[in-house]
Amino acid sequence: MQHKQQYVDVAPGVRLWTERRGAPDAPALLLIMGAQASGLGWPDALVDALAARHQVIRYDHRDTGRSTTAFDQHPYAITDLARDAVAVLDALGVERAHLVGMSLGGMLTQLVLADHPERVLSATLIGTCALSDTPYVAPDGTRVPVGELPGIAPEVLEMWSRPVEDNGPEAELDRRVEHWRVLNGGALAVDDSYFRDLERRIITHTGTHVASTAHARADDSHMLRTEELADTKVPVLAVSATAEPVFPPPHPHHLAQVIGDGTRVVEIAGMGHALPPAVQGPLAEAILAHTASAASARP
């Protein structure tokens, strides 16, 4: 399987690390990770499964992994991170791609879908919420304001409220493993060694164990896209993770309501806000079925 790493310039003074796997002539699939997450947060096994049918691209956001660390000198907005995703496609010569976004990456995917639909073959949204203030309509017809939808689990909020201190590499690994244990959601057993190995690889890739807080401080205004999302004709898949502790159901169904026709919801039992081995197979199957369906539907 072809495997190529490349740095690309996406804005003045901003260079991002990218990686491509799979046949160069296969349909492109861009993976967009969440806040403070390196592209290596997409597990190799999942990437390889998707690369059986796609040229899979993953990349490090600004202030993650091997990409430019610049927020403290040049603050940016979350919407700039969405522009980076399009700039990655430009730099790699990709006209259109299937997008898969997780957590904040799911919001960035929605921004690209809304602002640049001509660049998107299909979109898969994982562990995220709709960029809309349109109320959710429950099965019984009740209209639920967005602010009253189920929120982030208390144990996640408690961990996110703790200051991130530099107590050395091993202590940082301990903190990250605990973070994944909480995000996993409680339905599936947690293999601490799996997440520890994952984070050790990310630290080696990054070159430092010190965690960034840039994305948490970035301007998150001007992100609502209600009308644009409702107008899209791009096929969208919303993944409903039954143990999701950050954006639990019915958030995926709210996404489907906001985006409307062409949006499917697929449930992955036991999945939380993490990508342990147990969910990688079902998730890959769902994504590949979606991209294949989108390809067959195109004229």
Q: What does the pLDDT look like over 18-56, one tens digit per residue?
A: 999 999 999 999 999 999 999 999 999 999 999 999 999
Cα torsion through 209, 159, 273, 68, rounded to 10:
-30
Domain boundaries, the chain: 3-151+212-297
Report how far residue 34's alpha carbon sits from residue 61's, in angstroms, rounded to the nearest whole number: 9
ω before 276 within 30° of 0 (cis)? no
pLDDT band at 119 (very low <50, low <70, confident <90, very high): very high
Q: What is the mean pLDDT of residues 144-152?
A: 96
Looking at the DSSP bridge assignments, the partners of residue 15 are: 9
pLDDT band at 3 (very low <50, low <70, confident <90, very high): confident
Helix 277-297, helix 44-51: angle, nearest 10: 30
Burial class (CB in 10 A: 0-12, 13-18, 19+), 131: buried
Q: What does the pLDDT look like over 230-259, one tens digit per residue?
A: 999 999 999 999 999 999 999 999 999 999
Cα torsion through 217, 113, 265, 241, rounded to 10:
-20
Confidence (pLDDT) at 261:
77
Q: 3-151+212-297 has which CATH code?
A: 3.40.50.1820
- Residue 198 CB contacts under 8 Å (≥ 6 apart), including other chains: 40, 41, 43
Q: What does the pLDDT look like over 55-102, one tens digit per residue?
A: 999 999 999 999 999 899 999 999 999 999 999 999 999 999 999 999
Looking at the DSSP bridge assignments, the partners of residue 124 are: 100, 237
pTM recorded for the entire structure: 0.97
